Chain A
């Protein structure tokens, strides 16, 4: 039982690290694309800030929560398949 608690604890910590890194990567790629797409009509900093805010409210950004959910689902599926004969 202690093993299961360890799995939950360490698993949560590990997934948090993974989530934060993936999130930083996604933001970095988005910013790079915004910088590339900037055509000089308006203030560059405002354009990028608006674009990033839009991205943070988009479905694609929220889907990054799957980095918590999918591993959990995979663990439950594995445990179920291994232990149901």
Chain B
């Protein structure tokens, strides 16, 4: 029983961690090498990682024309971002300037000989097997590949989530203490009353029978 409880807890924590890791913004310091758009297949296995169909890029028969930004890290590893409007519900970035972002990224293209380092703010994962790309949200020039960026947004969001979770717990405890427990106590009292009456009645019945019996004797 205990191990079951812990399994559920660990799975929940992993799910929540994965969800936050996917949704919260992250920064990569990279060099933009190419920007383009191409028809991309958006199908059952990866459609969850793309914007909702009405967010700005038209989907025709499982394919969508999506903007991409190709980049290189300082250690020569590559990363490809998609650049899509997010729509208005989820994830809550409310991004509708993909065209401007693409223009900015094209402007910041650079070569290995004369690198221009940029910080790309993005959310999402790169999963090549499912053709899933992180979505670039913002791009800005930085001094060099070793710039340290403090994730203020993540700090604020995590603190707010912590406060929210704490308050939900307090509200639930208050609800149980003030609303559930009194009802349970009342039901308990009523039930005690019923059993007491039943005891009384059965005693009365026994007494009656006993009296009948004794009279017969």
Q: Does A65 contact B (CB under 8 A)?
A: no
Q: Does A45 contact B (CB under 8 A)?
A: no
User: Which one of B52, B88, B101, B174 contacts A28 once the chains associate, using CB atoms below 8 Å?
Assistant: B174
Contacts of B93 on A, CB cut-off 8 Å?
A: 78, 82
State A3–B90 Cα separation when bound (angstroms): 10
State A22–B93 Cα separation when bound (angstroms): 26
B171 touching A21 by the CB < 8 A rule?
A: yes
Interface residues of A in 14-64 (CB under 8 A from B): 21-22, 25, 28-29, 31-32
State A25–B137 Cα separation when bound (angstroms): 38
- Given known A-B contacts A79-B94, A82-B137, A82-B138, A7 and B174 have beta carbons under 8 A apart: no
Q: Does A10 contact B (CB under 8 A)?
A: yes
State A85–B99 Cα separation when bound (angstroms): 12
* B25, closest chain A residue (CB): A82
State A22–B87 Cα separation when bound (angstroms): 29
Interface residues of B in 72-100 (CB under 8 A from A): 87-89, 92-97, 100
* B92, closest chain A residue (CB): A78
Q: Does B192 contact A (CB under 8 A)?
A: no
User: Which one of A21, A31, A85 contacts B100 once the chains associate, using CB atoms below 8 Å?
Assistant: A85
* A81, closest chain B residue (CB): B138
- Given known A-B contacts A3-B55, A10-B89, A28-B174, A82 and B94 have beta carbons under 8 A apart: yes
Contact mask for chain B residues 35-69; partner A; CB cutoff 8 A; 1 contact, 0 none: 00000000000000000101100000000000000
Tell me how many residues of B have a C-beta within 8 Å of chain A.
25
Q: Does B148 contact A (CB under 8 A)?
A: no
State A32–B178 Cα separation when bound (angstroms): 8
* A25, closest chain B residue (CB): B171
Contact mask for chain A residues 71-85; partner B; CB cutoff 8 A; 1 contact, 0 none: 000010011001101
B88 touching A85 by the CB < 8 A rule?
A: no
Q: Does B211 contact A (CB under 8 A)?
A: no
Interface residues of B in 170-187 (CB under 8 A from A): 170-171, 174-175, 178-179
Contacts of A32 on B, CB cut-off 8 Å?
A: 174, 178
Contacts of A85 on B, CB cut-off 8 Å?
A: 97, 100-101, 104, 138-140
A contact set with B: CB distance below 8 Å: 2-4, 6-7, 10, 21-22, 25, 28-29, 31-32, 75, 78-79, 82-83, 85
B contact set with A: CB distance below 8 Å: 52, 54-55, 87-89, 92-97, 100-101, 104, 137-140, 170-171, 174-175, 178-179
7 more CB-based (< 8 A) A-B contacts, given A83-B96, A85-B100: A6-B88, A10-B89, A78-B93, A79-B94, A83-B95, A85-B101, A85-B138
Interchain residue pairs with CB less than 8 A apart (26): A3-B87, A3-B88, A4-B88, A7-B89, A22-B171, A25-B170, A25-B171, A28-B174, A29-B174, A31-B178, A32-B174, A32-B178, A75-B94, A78-B92, A78-B93, A78-B94, A82-B93, A82-B95, A82-B97, A83-B94, A83-B95, A85-B97, A85-B101, A85-B104, A85-B138, A85-B140
